[in-house]
Amino acid sequence: MNDILFYWSAWICWIWATWVMDKSKNQARIATFSLVAIICSNYAFSIAGYTVNVAVIFFLLLSVSFVIKKQLAKQIYYIFIGVETALGYAAIHLLTIFDPVLFILPLNIMTTIFLLIITGIFASQINDKLFIIFFSATVGEIIIGMIFGKLHLHHEIGMSGYLTRMALPFMIIALLSTLKTMGMKNKFV
């Protein structure tokens, strides 16, 4: 259970959407996405010599479906930011493998800090921030898997903490957004 934090955050999202949120399309979407993400995280398949977790494909499709709904200028902006962040994500991951002494904090914390800084700079709305996190971590994992594949090292794309590295910034952004919303409604005293 390497990704226990992901499972906890997904179940919390499902419980929140099912029992706390008002009935709406967003409520149904959040509950569905949470359950599908949990189900997909347990399966993997092989393609072209790579082993890929199904959750990688799910989050990639989720990200693409988000960005398709935007205007062309926004699509280009978010794809550019997402790819650049994915390269940074992959660079941090590869540096921790190459020289683990270089980083004081563990990989999960470093990628969380990196993703939170990037989303704080380049996105203002929670949906945009979540897109950057999901897209960047997913594409970053694919880049890492392809690099390891070229070096003939077996690396399963989307395994070994990938879901935790997405869950940490997701939980922080969701918590800050919830506190901000509660503060705006004067419920948080």
Q: Is 45 helix (H, G, I), strand (E, B) or coil?
A: strand
Inform me whether the pLDDT recorded for 182 exceeds 90.
no
Q: Is residue 185 part of a domain?
A: no
Q: Is residue 146 part of a domain?
A: yes
pLDDT score at 156: 83
pLDDT score at 99: 83
Q: Is residue 108 part of a domain?
A: yes
The rounded distance, in Å, linking the Cα atoms of 93 and 74 is 28
Q: What are the angstrom distances between the C-alpha of 7 and each of 40, 57, 69?
A: 11, 17, 28
117 close to 173: Cβ distance less than 8 angstroms: no
Inform me whether the pLDDT recorded for 179 exceeds 80.
yes
**What domain range includes position 71?**
4-178
Q: Is residue 119 part of a domain?
A: yes
Token pair belonging to 112 = 């969380």
Largest Cα span, the chain: 56
pLDDT score at 189: 46
Inform me whether the pLDDT recorded for 186 exceeds 70.
no
Inform me whether the pLDDT recorded for 1 exceeds 60.
no
Token pair belonging to 8 = 């906890």
What digits encode the pLDDT tens for the residues 32-51? 999 999 999 889 998 888 88
List beta partners, residue 51.
46
Q: Is residue 186 part of a domain?
A: no
Q: Is residue 142 part of a domain?
A: yes
How many domains, the chain? 1
36 close to 57: Cβ distance less than 8 angstroms: no
Q: Is residue 85 part of a domain?
A: yes
The rounded distance, in Å, linking the Cα atoms of 40 and 46 is 15
The rounded distance, in Å, linking the Cα atoms of 99 and 32 is 40
What digits encode the pLDDT tens for the residues 55-82? 999 999 999 999 999 999 999 999 999 9
Looking at 85-89, 160-164, 168-172, which range is the least confident one?
Answer: 160-164
Q: Is residue 23 part of a domain?
A: yes
Q: What is the mean pLDDT of residues 108-130?
A: 92
Token pair belonging to 64 = 């693409």
pLDDT score at 187: 53
pLDDT score at 11: 92
Q: Is 160 helix (H, G, I), strand (E, B) or coil?
A: coil
Output phi, psi for 51, to 5 deg.
Answer: -100, 125
Listed residue (134, 132, 140) closest to 86, CA to CA: 140
DSSP 8-state code for residue 157:
B
More reliable by pLDDT, 79 or 3: 79
What digits encode the pLDDT tens for the residues 131-153? 999 999 999 999 999 998 888 88
Q: What is the mean pLDDT of residues 81-99?
A: 92
pLDDT score at 29: 87
The predicted model scores a pTM of: 0.88
Strands (E), the chain: 44-47, 50-53
The rounded distance, in Å, linking the Cα atoms of 71 and 61 is 18
What does pLDDT average to over the chain? Answer: 88
